[in-house]
């Protein structure tokens, strides 16, 4: 039985999947496997993966689309390793990633670990440096109430934690919703400062879609998980900041009061963190508040134009 299973679901990724698979295999230890799910692709994804000769590689094919959540749950069911990692078909695994993450998981006493990323464009050009900053479990819980501070394909976790959480749910942000549930249940999530992958940024990725972002902000399942974490960390339920920003039906005075109450609770909770971690949370809070005000202004203009 391999100690580590790396899960890579892909649909129509023939153009980039070979590089993703080969870089992952090069970084994997001997006692590991890479499971690639071809999620009903209509291009040559399966043929590209099948042409790669490595005994640690397993290709699984689905004739009907399972989606990211369904595909990952399927791969979890098909593997039985103690440790599980993630990878995407359009990214590149950095050398030594899994050995570093295995040590970091133990050092940070985490159950679910992430790394930082190096972003690059489709042309291979590095877009911007990502600050190599780690997040310990206590700080990461507060960051989750302000943004999604981790990249899903950098995941390195114990299988037990993922299985006991019930795996992924079929919601727009299946990863973020799982992290919220994990934090509510007291699981130790952390982010190592070391980069784990080179993360490809391109216009076609799902998270670049405005409609996808708005569906994520208003998804009731994710909203419930977010509110539950807010109640644990802040002592009160709350709505996501972006949901507040696009709520054009609510009274502006009430929204301002709701936003101020949330910000005040975050500041109190941040006071329990050590100096540098506290300052980072407070700085992030101020950036998010500015973004909410800007989004609210643009949403109000859009609503006015539609009437």
pLDDT in tens, 157-184: 999 999 999 999 999 999 999 999 999 9
**What is the spatial distance between Cα 21 and Cα 34, in angstroms, rounded to a whole number?**
8
Q: Would you say residue 305 has pLDDT above 50?
A: no
Residues sharing a CB contact under 8 Å with residue 186, sequence separation 6 or more, in sequence order: none
Average pLDDT, the chain: 93
Q: Would you say residue 66 has pLDDT above 50?
A: yes
Predicted model pTM: 0.93
Compute the 3-state secondary structure of the chain and give helix, strand, coil in percent, each to the nearest 5. Answer: 50, 20, 35
What does R_g of the chain's alpha carbons equal in angstroms?
A: 20
Among 20-29, 151-160, 243-252, 270-279, whose mean pLDDT is lowest?
Answer: 243-252
Q: Where are the domains of the chain?
A: 1-80, 208-306
Count CB-CB contacts under 10 A for residue 166.
10
Supply the CATH classification number for the domain 1-80.
Answer: 3.90.550.10
Question: Which pLDDT value is given to residue 306?
Answer: 43
Question: Which pLDDT value is given to residue 300?
Answer: 60
- 235-267 per-position pLDDT tens digit: 999 999 999 999 988 888 999 999 999 999 999
Nearest Cα residue to 146 out of 305, 284, 13: 284
Give me 11's structure tokens: 């649909």
Q: What is the DSSP string of 28-43?
A: S-SSEEEEEEEES-SS
Among 189-193, 281-285, 299-303, whose mean pLDDT is lowest?
Answer: 299-303
């Amino acid at each position: 039985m391999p100690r580590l299973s790396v899960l890579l679901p892909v649909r129509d990724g023939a153009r980039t999947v070979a590089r993703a698979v080969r870089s992952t295999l090069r970084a994997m230890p001997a006692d590991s496997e890479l499971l690639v799910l071809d999620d009903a692709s209509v291009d040559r994804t399966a043929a590209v993966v099948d042409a790669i000769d490595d005994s640690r590689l397993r290709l699984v094919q689905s004739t009907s689309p399972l989606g990211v959540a369904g595909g990952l749950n399927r791969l979890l069911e098909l593997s039985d390793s103690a440790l599980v990692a993630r990878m995407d078909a359009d990214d590149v695994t950095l050398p030594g990633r899994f050995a570093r993450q295995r040590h970091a998981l133990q050092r940070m006493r985490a159950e679910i670990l992430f790394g930082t990323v190096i972003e690059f464009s489709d042309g291979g050009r590095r877009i911007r440096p990502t600050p190599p900053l780690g997040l310990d479990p206590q700080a990461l819980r507060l960051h989750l109430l302000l943004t999604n501070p981790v990249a899903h394909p950098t995941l390195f976790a114990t299988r037990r934690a993922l299985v006991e959480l019930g795996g992924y749910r079929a919601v727009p942000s299946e990863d973020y919703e799982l992290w919220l549930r994990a934090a509510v249940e007291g699981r130790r999530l952390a982010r190592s400062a070391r980069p784990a992958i080179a993360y490809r940024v391109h216009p076609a990725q799902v998270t670049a879609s405005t409609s996808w972002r708005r569906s994520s902000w208003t998804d009731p399942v994710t909203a419930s998980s977010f509110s539950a974490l807010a109640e644990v960390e802040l002592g009160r339920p709350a709505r996501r900041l972006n949901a507040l920003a696009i709520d054009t039906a609510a009274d502006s005075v009430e929204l301002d009061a709701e936003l101020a109450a949330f910000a005040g609770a975050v500041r109190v909770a941040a006071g329990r963190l050590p100096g540098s971690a506290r300052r980072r949370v407070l700085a992030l809070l101020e950036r998010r508040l500015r973004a909410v005000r800007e989004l609210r202004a643009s949403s109000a203009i859009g609503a006015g134009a539609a009437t």
